[in-house]
Amino acid sequence: MSTRAKLMVALVVVVGVIGMLVRTAVTHASTYYVTVNEFFQESPATQHDPTTISGEIIGSSINWNPTSGLLKFNVQDKTGGKALTVVYHGAKPDDFTDNWPVIVTGMLQSDGSFHASKLLIKCPSKYQAQNQAANAAS
Amino acid sequence: MLIGNIGALALRALFAVTALSIVAHVAAIWTTHSLWRRLSRVAMTVQFVFVAVASAALLYLLITTNLNYSYVVDYTSRGLPLVYRVAAFWGGDAGSLLFWSLVLTLYGMVVALSRHEDSERMLPVVSLLVTVVTLFYTIVMNVGANPFNRLAHAAAVGNGLNPLLQNPGMTVHPVNVYLGYIGFTIPFAYAVTGLLLNKTDATWLRVTRRWTLVSWLFLGIGIIYGAHWSYEELGWGGYWAWDPVENAALLPWLTATAFLHSSIVQERKGMLKAWNVVLITLTYFLSLLGTYLVRSGVLWSIHAFANGFLGIYYLVFMAVILVFTVTLIILRWPSLRAERQFEAVVAKESAFMLNNVLFLGATFAILWGTVFPLVSEATTGHQLMVSAPFYNAVNLPLAVCIILLMAIGPFVAWRRSSLANVMKSIWMPFVLAVVLGLATTLWLRAMYTAPTVLATSGVIAAYFAILTVVFEYVQSVRARMVLTGEGWFVCLMRLLNRNRRRFGGYIVHLALAIIALGIVGSGSYHIQKQQVMSVGDTATIGVYQAKFVGMGVSQGLHGETRTMYANLVITKNGQTIGVLRPSATFYENGNSPTTNVALFSRPLRDLYVVMLGTASNNEAIFDLHINPMVQFIWYGGYLFILGTLVSLWPERKPALRRAELGVVVDNLYEDLADLEYDHRMGKVDGADYEQQKLELEQRIALSEQDRQARRERMERELKEEVRRLGHGSTTGGASS
């Protein structure tokens, strides 16, 4: 076998291993990514799969119990529609206010609440003018 | 008002300036007349001057908080400290575009005023390409996002800058990322110029090596600093979240790292020519993609994005760049052939190739994960997304492989090596690394949590890489001491001085291995505890006890903020160390409160405390973390800067022109020198060395003969020609 052929074989093997790594990781670690309204339109079976949902916080629904570290709040689409109750065990992030966009990852429980294992808050970035944030807070 | 008008005017005029520049560059390329070439240089300077005037005007408006301009209103307020009024320059969309253009035209000017081999022919083309990019930003600024937009009525107050962004990081992190992103334009422009001129030697690599390194350094600093900022400011206990915006900065850095390695192969061996062009194109394209992702809003990220109307501009521009470059590469494919072939499977050349495959594999995985929501929606109709576990599952094993290769690579000889030889040089550092790695793992296990196989192999690989660098240094210094009889320090300095590229690179390897230790330590052995405490309670985490002794409130400077803090007395083994004061800041203007992290940093571990909130009867909730070895990441960051600077520092001798087309003999002599070095370092054993040396010497002798024969023939032909001409001219002279 020529040096070139040997090298090609080695390369193909390495690339193949990396490809397999990506493939298994994708199947294990991917979740559906939907908005609140899209989530409600899904079939009940799919609803109980691990899902990532984006929506906006409804300020009046925030219920934070510091002693137990339990955070309960409702999320809704920007355009309105049905609200979903989210239960999250962990710290309440900064900037947790009304209309603030949020991503939650977790699973729907039989009681109709969504248990989030992960909670992401859009961090205020340099590219967003402050007045949008100020409007959101008021 | 006047200043604002001047700025707006300069920005409008920049249109005309870039258009005229393009005419000058094209004329310089077609006519090769020196006047046009001079004009082409001047045009680059004029562009910079106009952008600088506009930038100075915008800075003036921001510093004086002129509330007639919507950009100023959006990003500053009267009470904002000066440094953040300046930082607002790149804090918003329109301003950052102007800042971008400022850096780009500055780079363009510096390039146009430089002189290097074949610069007469290359510079007008390079300038043309850079100007086209500038024209793109000029269009976006004038049509899409003008920083000089006036409001109908002056606003009463500015919106100020979000408190989380009011951090010294805001002045350092974005600037570094920009300097890095923009810098890749220059090597890319040179690569395209080489293709356009059908000049496929390594000239462009030699000319742009510093540009690539500097951009790579800035981007690297930007990434590490961004991680540090997020760690100290955001209070979530981590430093990297695999967020699309973070990934966007990491992607071009990874491909640039691959490029820095494979360009060595082209410079020294004339191989991988097409590959290098592809890599730098990919790097530039990924830096554009990063900007597009940040500004278009196509992906959901924890970083808030702009509204998205600029996305289409970037999309069109990226499409143009991609189609143009790919077409060019295809057209030039035949002339991008390598000057020589791979000679053996185990050789430095193939080690570099493996390095490239691993880096590109990581790049592909991260890119795939980042755009996965878009891809899955386009193909299945459902948006799917991946999160941190995906990135970790793919990238951590790849990172371990890269570090292992980083440890072994320097010991593999050029051209031809053998596994036995490599083994001979690495077994000692490897055994030591295994011992040290296992000891460290046992210690970490005793202190914190159970280890994983991946974490343990990561620690071993990192030690291995550190030890090989140390061994390489020690052996090289020893070899020099034996040869010259000088002291070790003199030898070390001479060594660094003589071969800055190589030994600077090794320092960077060392830095990355130290960063890897920090990542394994803080990622795998991190412990966390949330506890509700009344005054007088004590929480225990790791080796520390934290006693909650009371709370207090302090007023901000202008009464705009109030800060509520808790005092925690920290003890270790019964000895009081000090007081940590985590706090939360409340804003009078209705912004939601922000938490401030309290950190007790030691080289081996950080105690990281956040106050999550308060409850009735003087209770408070604390989030306590211990991040083992996280400081190593920042130490490694400093070493990374140092190593890159050593590698960047100009060498006194101009670099040998190794890969000039047809300079076969020089390449062979270079090989001989490499072989000599490798032998002395024990990378090639005696018998192999003798054989390879003999082979090389024979080839050199043959080539020298060949060169001599060619020279004689040329001299003969020249003499003939001169004789003929001389004869002709005398007859001509006689006839007139």
| pLDDT confidence bin for B308, thresholds 50/70/90 | low
Using an 8 Å CB-CB cutoff, list chain B residues near A123: 164, 234, 302-304
- For A29, the closest chain B residue by CA position comes to B390
| pLDDT confidence bin for A79, thresholds 50/70/90 | confident
Contact (CB<8Å) A127/B93: yes
What per-residue confidence (pLDDT) applies to B22? 96
Reported as a single tens digit per residue, the pLDDT across B386-412 is 888 899 999 999 999 999 999 998 888
- For B392, the closest chain A residue by CA position comes to A25
Q: Mean pLDDT, chain A, as a whole number? A: 78
- For B164, the closest chain A residue by CA position comes to A124
Using an 8 Å CB-CB cutoff, list chain A residues near B296: none
Nearest Cβ partner of B390 from A15, A25, A122?
A25
CA atoms within 13 A on the CB side of B474: 8
Contact (CB<8Å) B162/A133: yes
Nearest Cβ partner of B384 from A6, A32, A130?
A32
A100–chain B nearest CA distance, Å: 11
Reported as a single tens digit per residue, the pLDDT across B558-567 is 777 888 899 9
Contact (CB<8Å) B159/A134: yes
The answer, yes or no, to whether residue B283 has pLDDT greater than 90, is: yes
Kindly state the tokens that stand for B736. Answer: 């007139």
Q: Mean pLDDT, chain B, as a whole number? A: 86
Nearest Cβ partner of B532 from A32, A67, A121?
A67
For the ranges A74-78, B323-327, B334-338, B721-725, the one whose mean pLDDT is highest: B323-327
Reported as a single tens digit per residue, the pLDDT across A18-69 is 898 888 888 877 777 788 888 888 877 777 788 888 888 888 888 888 777 7
Contact (CB<8Å) B74/A131: yes
Complete DSSP assignment for B687-706: HHHHHHHHHHHHHHHHHHHH
Assess contact for B226 and B173: CB atoms under 8 A: yes
Assess contact for B362 and B399: CB atoms under 8 A: yes
CA atoms within 13 A on the CB side of B147: 35
Spatial CA neighbour of B525 closest among B464, B469, B451:
B451
Q: Flag whether residue B393 sits within 8 Å of chain A, measured between CB atoms.
A: yes
Measure Cα distances from B318 to B107, B126, B135, B622, B699 in Å: 21, 18, 14, 47, 47
Contact (CB<8Å) B365/A22: yes
Q: What are phi and psi of A70, to 5 degrees?
A: -105, 130
Assess contact for A30 and A52: CB atoms under 8 A: no
Mean pLDDT lowest among A89-98, B465-474, B475-484: A89-98
| CA–CA–CA angle B93, B97, B99 (5° rounding) | 115
The answer, yes or no, to whether residue B190 has pLDDT greater than 80, is: yes
Nearest Cβ partner of A127 from B295, B386, B595?
B295
Cα B181 from Cα B185, distance rounded (Å): 8
Contact (CB<8Å) B345/A10: yes
Using an 8 Å CB-CB cutoff, list chain A residues near B91: 126
Contact (CB<8Å) A131/B358: no
Report long-range pairs for B593-597 (Cβ below 8 Å, ≥24 apart): B593/A94, B594/A94, B594/A95, B594/B163, B594/B164, B595/A94, B595/B235, B596/B235, B596/B563, B597/B232, B597/B233, B597/B235
Kindly state the tokens that stand for B157. Answer: 């107050």
The answer, yes or no, to whether residue A122 has pLDDT greater than 70, is: no
Cα A118 from Cα A124, distance rounded (Å): 19
Reported as a single tens digit per residue, the pLDDT across B406-416 is 999 888 877 77
Spatial CA neighbour of B129 closest among B191, B200, B177:
B191
Q: Flag whether residue B306 sits within 8 Å of chain A, measured between CB atoms.
A: yes
Instruction: Mark which residues 124-183 of B lie under 8 Å from A by CB.
Output: 159-162, 164-165, 170, 174
Q: Flag whether residue B591 sits within 8 Å of chain A, measured between CB atoms.
A: yes
The answer, yes or no, to whether residue B100 has pLDDT greater than 60, is: yes
Assess contact for B270 and B202: CB atoms under 8 A: yes
- Among left, alpha and beta (phi > 0; psi -120 to 50; other), residue A90 is left
Reported as a single tens digit per residue, the pLDDT across A112-121 is 889 988 887 7
Nearest Cβ partner of B302 from A15, A121, A129?
A121
- For A136, the closest chain B residue by CA position comes to B591
Spatial CA neighbour of B399 closest among B520, B489, B275:
B520
Instruction: Mark which residues 691-730 of B lie under 8 Å from A by CB.
Output: none
Using an 8 Å CB-CB cutoff, list chain B residues near A90: 530
Q: Flag whether residue B566 sits within 8 Å of chain A, measured between CB atoms.
A: no
CB pairs under 8 A between A and B: 183
Reported as a single tens digit per residue, the pLDDT across B57-74 is 999 999 999 999 999 988
Measure Cα distances from B240 to B392, B455, B608 in Å: 11, 17, 16
- Among left, alpha and beta (phi > 0; psi -120 to 50; other), residue A87 is beta
Interface test with B, best of A38, A126, A138 (most B CBs within 10 A): A126
Reported as a single tens digit per residue, the pLDDT across B431-452 is 999 999 999 999 999 988 889 9
The answer, yes or no, to whether residue B259 has pLDDT greater than 80, is: yes
For the ranges A82-96, B527-541, B580-594, the one whose mean pLDDT is highest: B527-541
